[in-house]
């Protein structure tokens, strides 16, 4: 009798695991869509803002996370549903742990700095170059994930890091092709350097998010992802708002809107759409890190690079020269190498787990 119960429980385990994995895969897919739509549209809108006379860098930094209040809706809906299901249990956890809240505050401030660095780069560089440079965040994510969450380096990941760095060097050595009219060499170089530093900081943040939920010792749920996203975005927004007050950006918004090349109405429309798009990107990025890993988020970011190139050429006054094609080829080669390495490792892990689970039954 005991053996029958044990066999039945062993039979149900794979079924439960399979259902959990299918839900997790669906969540990853949803977050991937959020990340893709937000990143492609957000980057284009930011560049349009600068091309037509916009010049408030802290304002653009704020737009990355200022849409965080919208997260109150899914958090509240989830909380109400849990409350109805658990009528006899009043101890429903609603807020994240204090340790995770501290991590979120630190990551939020770092995100505000990272966003500012990216906006400086976006103001001086074409989308085709800035997106290629920002894709190096995968390399930085891999490096910092190795030190922070002990993700192992393989020959494939090392190959990906080297190729992406070489692609950035190629762009750095040949960066005079499509410089905007009236932009100095100093400004162009500054934009290039800021994007690279921003990509490095982005790598730290991605690894830091994964590190935070590992160290906090909590189960990853949809509620947790939304709450952490809310806190990180809130602290990042507060950081940018303080900087805007010091820089007197709020007083300059009305004047900038009146002088905007596409008109005052489209100025505010671009700001609103940018906030929605960039918040979508943030939700997708953090959601993928929590449901999978920082490295998967970095891989998807790198994969979106060629799509951004296509949209930039279609909707912006940009062209794609041979240097960019070579850098793009290196980026895709690096991505393919990294993805193949991760695929091989997952297959090896599955085989190992299968051997471990079947051996006791044979005995």
**Spatial CB neighbours of 133, under 8 Å, sequence gap ≥ 6:** 121, 125, 168, 171, 192, 195, 196, 199
What is the rounded CA–CA span in Å between residue 215 and residue 149?
Answer: 10
Q: State the sign of the Cα–Cα–Cα–Cα dihedral 41, 46, 50, 52.
A: positive
Half-sphere exposure of 45 (CA within 13 A, CB side): 23
Q: Say what the pLDDT of residue 239 is.
A: 95
Match 């909380």 to its residue by tokens: 79
The pLDDT tens digits for 191-244 are 888 998 998 998 898 888 878 877 766 666 777 778 888 999 999 999 999 999
Enter the tokens of residue 54. Answer: 């916009």
Give yes or no for a contact between 339 and 299, defined as CB atoms under 8 angstroms apart. Answer: yes
N-to-C CA span, the chain: 20
Enter the tokens of residue 99. Answer: 């340790």
3-class SS at 193? helix
The pLDDT tens digits for 34-71 are 988 888 898 889 889 988 888 899 998 999 888 888 88
Compare 327 and 233 and report the one with higher pLDDT.
233
Compare 173 and 34 and report the one with higher pLDDT.
34
């Amino acid at each position: 009798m005991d053996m029958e119960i044990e066999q039945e429980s062993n039979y149900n385990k794979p079924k439960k695991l399979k259902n959990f994995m299918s839900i997790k895969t669906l969540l990853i897919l949803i977050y991937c869509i959020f990340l893709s739509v937000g990143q492609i549209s957000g980057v284009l809108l930011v560049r349009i803002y600068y091309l037509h006379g916009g010049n408030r860098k802290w304002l653009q930094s704020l737009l990355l996370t200022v849409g965080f209040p919208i997260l109150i809706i899914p958090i509240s809906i989830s909380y109400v549903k849990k409350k109805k299901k658990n009528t006899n249990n009043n101890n429903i956890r609603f807020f994240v742990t204090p340790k995770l809240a501290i991590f979120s505050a630190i990551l939020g401030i770092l995100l505000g700095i990272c966003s500012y660095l990216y906006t400086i780069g976006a103001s001086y560089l074409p989308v085709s170059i800035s997106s290629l440079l920002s894709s190096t965040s995968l390399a930085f994510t891999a490096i910092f994930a190795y030190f922070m969450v002990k993700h192992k380096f393989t020959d494939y990941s090392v190959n990906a890091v080297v190729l992406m760095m070489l692609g950035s060097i190629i762009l750095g050595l040949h960066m005079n092709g499509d410089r905007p009219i009236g932009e100095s060499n100093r400004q162009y170089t500054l934009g290039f350097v800021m994007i690279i530093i921003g990509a490095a900081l982005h790598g730290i943040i991605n690894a830091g998010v994964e590190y935070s939920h590992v160290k906090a010792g909590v189960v990853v749920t949809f509620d947790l992802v939304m709450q952490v996203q809310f806190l990180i975005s809130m602290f990042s927004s507060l950081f940018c708002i303080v900087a805007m007050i010091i820089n007197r950006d709020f007083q300059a918004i009305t004047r900038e809107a009146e002088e905007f090349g596409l008109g005052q109405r489209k100025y505010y429309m671009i700001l609103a759409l940018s906030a929605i798009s960039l918040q979508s990107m943030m939700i997708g990025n953090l959601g993928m890190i929590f449901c999978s890993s920082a490295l998967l988020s970095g891989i998807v970011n790198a994969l979106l690079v060629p799509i951004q190139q296509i949209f930039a050429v279609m909707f912006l006054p940009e062209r794609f020269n041979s240097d960019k094609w070579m850098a793009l080829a290196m980026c895709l080669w690096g991505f393919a190498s990294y993805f193949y390495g991760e695929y091989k490792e997952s297959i090896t892990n599955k085989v190992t787990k299968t051997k471990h689970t079947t051996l006791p039954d044979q005995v």
